[in-house]
Amino acid sequence: MVMSKKIAIIQSNYIPWKGYFDIINMVDEFILYDDVQYTKNDWRNRNRIKTRDGAQWITIPVHQHTLSQKIRDTKVAGNAWRKKHWKTIIVNYSHSKHFKEYRDIFEDHYLNRNEQFLSEINYCFINLINGILDINTKISWSTDYQSSSSKTERLVNLCNITGASEYITGPAAREYLDEELFAGEGIRITYMDYSGYPEYHQMHPPFEHRVSILDLIFNEGLRAKDFMKSFKVKR
């Protein structure tokens, strides 16, 4: 019997929201697609947290020397952002129900590490959060596999190289994917549905879904998985 394999191929994000981790948990291998162009004002180097005044951006300053610069080659502009972000998180989450349980490990990642490339920083936080959520999906990099050609062809090639029979991606990919190329290789495309997430206890109403998963973890602790879709599917 041939076993099916699911993969996702997505750029690394900074402390992503719950939907990002749902996709990681739904696949057998999650490929960080970081040898593509770095885009400004995107999720690569920033995310939002919940505050009394609504959602607030926290952004890692980076050096962008050329428009064609790749994500993997993007360096951060110093380390001052680490202390600043951690202080902002403390101010807004220190009174949340489960903050004390996770304070030490996040403080260590913010204040006692020294990665200089954005991709490495994102990977470290993604890996940390996977551990908290008991997500055991294999994480790899697009540079681990030799592949070239156009955007959709490259994605299809990565699916073939990794032996994937199903490709899971976000709904925005409908705008650019050539679905016929996947179908021609016998690869099924599944678009993630981000609608219908249940609300959890959030400190400052009104409720906002599209914030970093830190919000869910600090407010719900081990129950965070009960407010995500992929864990319900696995059960």
For residue 61, cis peptide bond before it (omega within 30 degrees of 0): no
* Helix orientation angle between 118-133 and 18-26, rounded to the nearest 10 degrees: 70
How far is Cα 170 from Cα 22, in angstroms, rounded to an integer?
A: 11
> Residue 50 is inside which H or E element, if any?
strand 46-51
**Predicted confidence (pLDDT) per residue in 91-113, tens digit:** 999 999 999 999 999 999 999 99
CA 27 to chain centre: 13
User: For residue 85, what are the contacts with CB-CB under 8 A and spacing of at least 6?
Assistant: 58, 60, 110
Instruction: Please report how the helices 213-220 and 118-133 are oriented relative to each other, as an axis angle in degrees rounded to 10.
Output: 30
Nearest to 216 by CA among 232, 200, 229, 205: 200
Q: Does pLDDT of 150 surpass 80?
A: no
Burial (Cβ within 10 Å: 0-12, 13-18, ≥19) of residue 158: buried
Query: What is the structure's pLDDT at 235?
Result: 42
The per-residue pLDDT of the chain, averaged, comes to 94
Higher pLDDT, 38 or 234: 38
For residue 54, give both structure tokens: 């609504």
DSSP state of 173: G
**Average pLDDT of span 80-88:** 98
pLDDT confidence of residue 1: 40
The letter for the amino acid at 178 is D
Q: Is the pLDDT of residue 61 over 50?
A: yes
Cβ(195)–Cβ(217) below 8 Å: no
Tokens of 205: 């109403």
Greatest C-alpha distance within the chain = 55
Q: Which residues contact 230 (CB under 8 A, 6 or more apart)?
A: 21, 22, 23, 25, 26
